[in-house]
Structure 1
Amino acid sequence: MLRDNKEDGFSPGFMLHLWTAQTDAVLDCIRENGFSQVKMEFIDRKYEESAWVFKEAYGFFKQRAGLLVKPPEGAESPIWLFFDRSWVYLSQDSFLLELSIPRERAVLFGRERWQKVLNLSYVGKDREDEARFEQKMNQMGVSAYWEVFQSPFYPYLKSEIKKSWNRIFDIDNMDQTNLGAAVWQIRQEDVVGINSHSASEERDGFSGK
């Protein structure tokens, strides 16, 4: 049984084995400063015209995650981590980092539910609940979720949608294959392996071994 609290099966001090893809610039930052963390301006640059959608979703996640794990000064957005390396998208200019992170520094959430938040969708208790909400939207003449957020005419729908997003942290009985994790910082001591597209460049952490 998994819950996002001290009874989730991952007791305080338990080390989570996680993976993430990061650029060489991030690795340089970790080497120079001992850690790396994200600024919201990175989200603006990365997503450009669609940045408002991600700001809405990331703003929610940041606020809620900050109640679960206190962010250090300067950390403006969580860093996404995965329990399975096969879930990580590795571009040509990125490195696959293998991490070992204490449970108390990580926020756990449902990955599929998070995708719904990124789509500004309603996160229902079940499929029937989601169908009910979509029917309500249709009856009000709303055909897409983004309309709710870009129009001033649906404050109650917007409030109900955003309230439903809290369900991404309801991970009771959720299998680990459906879990995602996030941290506010990647620290040098977290990195136990660095893998590039070339097997010859695989090494343990920052030791270069």
Structure 2
Amino acid sequence: MLTNYSSSNNKVKLWTRQHKQVLKELEENGIYHAKKEYITEKMDDISEYYLKLYDWYVKEAEKIVPRPDEIIKYPIWLSTSSETMLQPTEDTIVLELEVPREYVVITDFERWGYVVNYWYVPLDKEDEKKHNEELKRYGIRDESALYMSHKGNFYPLLRNKIIKSWNRIFDSNLPTSGITQATLWEIKKEWIVNIL
């Protein structure tokens, strides 16, 4: 697991920007789970794009931290430092949490960006160079087309190589971008230490 985060007493300090409605739900139920309707409202026109990515992420992240309940379909995204946290905007709040480490999945922020763009996640700069040379040999200018279009049907091995590389977002043995992020399956009211 990646370790670029603040922790003490086996707890991790995290921040998440959420709609004010989430705080109300936490006060009423003591727990919050991400809902599809919240994602589609937040992501608007690109929600289907993200939901597809989240389906992949859930399948892989639950191998690290099992979902506590099958009804939980989506992760909750959090910042691992106050410097990189999303700032509050209209109708939102930021929850500062202290969460037991065993509930937290930590990933590299930059490598997640590669996954979001349907790109190959390289082992290092040399591996990235070799991959880009391979794309050039095949005449592929838009790497994401291998996943998002029929082009992947013509290059199934290359497409599978890209998809398999995505698990590297969880690998702490690879060089990091210096910025990490976290996900949880749920937020419990007792984890809240501050509301911004």
Same fold? TM cut 0.5: yes
Letter in 1 for 2:64: L
Give the fraction of aligned pairs with identical amino acids, expressed as a percent. 32
Which of 53, 57, 61 is the matching residue for 1:57?
53
Unpaired segments ≥5 residues, structure 2: none
Pair 187,116 (structure 1): closer, same or farther in 2 beyond 3 Å: same
Aligned to 1:167, the other structure's residue is in SS state helix
Pair 23,78 (structure 1): closer, same or farther in 2 beyond 3 Å: same
- Residue 124 of structure 2 contacts residue 175 of structure 2 at CA under 8 Å; is this kept in 1? no
Letter in 2 for 1:76: K
Unpaired segments ≥5 residues, structure 1: 196-209
Alignment of 1:45-194 (within 5 A): 45-73=41-69, 74-90=71-87, 91-154=89-152, 155-172=156-173, 177-194=178-195
Please report the TM-score for the alignment, with normalisation by the length of structure 1: 0.80
CA RMSD across the alignment: 2.5
Pair 146,63 (structure 1): closer, same or farther in 2 beyond 3 Å: same
Pair 175,99 (structure 1): closer, same or farther in 2 beyond 3 Å: farther
Please report the TM-score for the alignment, with normalisation by the length of structure 2: 0.85
- Residue 123 of structure 1 contacts residue 165 of structure 1 at CA under 8 Å; is this kept in 2? yes
Pair 43,156 (structure 1): closer, same or farther in 2 beyond 3 Å: farther
**Structure 1 stretch displaced more, 47-56 or 58-67:** 47-56
Pair 136,51 (structure 1): closer, same or farther in 2 beyond 3 Å: farther
Pair 124,141 (structure 1): closer, same or farther in 2 beyond 3 Å: same
Per-residue deviation, 1:177: 4.7
- Could you list the structure 1 runs, at least 4 aligned residues long, displaced by more than 4 angstroms after superposition: 173-177
- Residue 111 of structure 2 contacts residue 121 of structure 2 at CA under 8 Å; is this kept in 1? yes
Aligned length: 189
